């Protein structure tokens, strides 16, 4: 029995590490308290989801760079979604924060961090790139100056691979 549990755990770990994890369908409220379903707002080719919070300094540094990438790729079938995980107590701060950073892509609120828990996301910022089949194909944790170039290169690579299908 221990052997079965070990191999089940090993397989699950490898599956998370090397891809194959599907993003579950989810429905969350946006900053205007309107329900948004992932399948209704996802990108045609790729979807970039950035998990962040107002109190996270690296998150705040990444947001303007992600906004620039959104502008660059929004007409190429790539949708960006901000996924804020501020607690219910800080929820009122999210909309003014988004407005002050002039974020143009949709921002959803997950005050109980249910989606990050399902996806084993334990630190923020964490950025995921999801393909049109809802498979998580790229994960980036943290933010340092210059990371936007790495993310841009990954989007370019994935878009070029997608055009070869």
Domain range summary for the chain, segments of one domain joined by + = 23-163
Model confidence pLDDT, tens digit, residues 85-142: 999 999 999 999 999 999 999 999 999 999 999 999 999 999 999 999 999 999 999 9
Query: Strand 78-84 and strand 46-52: pairing?
Result: parallel
- In angstroms, rounded to a whole number, what is the distance separating the alpha carbons of residues 144 and 133? 29
Q: What letter does residue 62 receive in the DSSP assignment? A: H
Where residue 6 falls among pLDDT bands split at 50, 70, 90?
A: very low
Q: Report the CATH number of the 23-163 domain.
A: 3.40.30.10
CA distance 89 to 154: 36
């Amino acid at each position: 029995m221990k052997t079965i549990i070990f191999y089940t755990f090993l397989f699950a770990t490898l599956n998370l590490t090397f891809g194959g994890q599907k993003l579950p369908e989810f429905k969350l409220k946006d900053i205007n308290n309107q329900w948004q379903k992932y399948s209704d707002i996802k990108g045609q080719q790729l979807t970039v989801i950035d998990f962040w919070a107002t109190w996270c300094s690296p998150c705040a540094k990444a947001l303007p760079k992600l906004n620039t990438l959104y502008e660059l790729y929004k007409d190429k079938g790539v949708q960006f979604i901000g996924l804020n995980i501020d607690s219910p107590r800080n929820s009122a701060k999210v909309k003014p924060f988004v407005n002050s950073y002039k974020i143009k892509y949709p921002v959803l609120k997950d005050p109980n961090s249910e989606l990050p828990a399902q996806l084993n996301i334990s630190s923020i910022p964490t950025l995921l790139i999801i393909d049109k089949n809802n498979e998580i194909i790229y994960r980036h944790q943290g933010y340092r100056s210059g990371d936007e170039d790495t993310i841009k290169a990954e989007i370019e690579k994935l878009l070029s691979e997608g055009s070869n299908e």
